[in-house]
Amino acid sequence: MIKKIPGEIWKQMQFSGYKNLKKNYAVSNHGRAASYFESVAKDGNLLNGSLTSGYRTLNLHVEDGNGTIYFHREIAKLFCKKKSPKTKYVIHVNHKKTDNSAKNLKWASLEEVSEHQQKSPLKIAYKKRQANRTVGLKLTVVQVKAIKDTINNPKRKLTYKQLATKYGVSEMTLYRIKSGENWSRIK
């Protein structure tokens, strides 16, 4: 028996292979999930699921699929309106992956997802830690300045591969320095 929450609406999940399962599965606009035989109110059991990369998931053995159901995606499918066909991804507005209430979920395009992730408190804290890090770095500030000068020089003779070899780093590190993803505080 599931305790009722005022204003909570339950809808049955309809994923690939759901008709072949013994139980039915539903999610609510409050971010909860349940399994049941007849109805959620009559014989429903709340499901915690498991965490996969911080997201609540349910692992079901279904045919024609991997069986991993992400709560937030199912809730968004049933309770959130898509703005356009480009919005294929679901974001958590408050950046809390376990808060799956419908009002916290929003369909987004790939660009919107990237922009949203940059505003995440965890991402901001990570960037701050990285910017203040001094131990375990492959490059010094002087080397980074030299790399930036070389990359921005229109008469540069060295390729990225040669530059990477010269400083003992990967080419990807150089691209990250150029884009400002790494070492952005160094001008």
Along the chain (187 residues), what's the average pLDDT of each consecutive run of 10 residues?
90 85 93 94 92 92 76 96 93 96 96 93 86 80 92 92 94 92 82
Supply the pLDDT for residue 24: 93
- Per-residue confidence (pLDDT) for residue 64, from 0 to 100: 65
- Give the C-alpha separation, 95 to 56, whole Å: 14
CATH for 85 = 3.90.75.20
- Residue 135 has a pLDDT of 78
Residue 184 placed within a domain:
no
pLDDT, position 44: 92
Q: What is the pLDDT of residue 182?
A: 84
Residue 86 lies inside a defined structural domain of this protein: yes
Residues 6 or more apart from 18 whose CB is under 8 A from it? 24, 25, 62
Entry pTM: 0.72
What six digits make up the tokens of 30? 């409050």
**Helix boundaries (H) for the chain:** 40-43, 71-79, 110-118, 121-131, 141-152, 160-167, 171-179
- 96 shares a domain with 78: yes
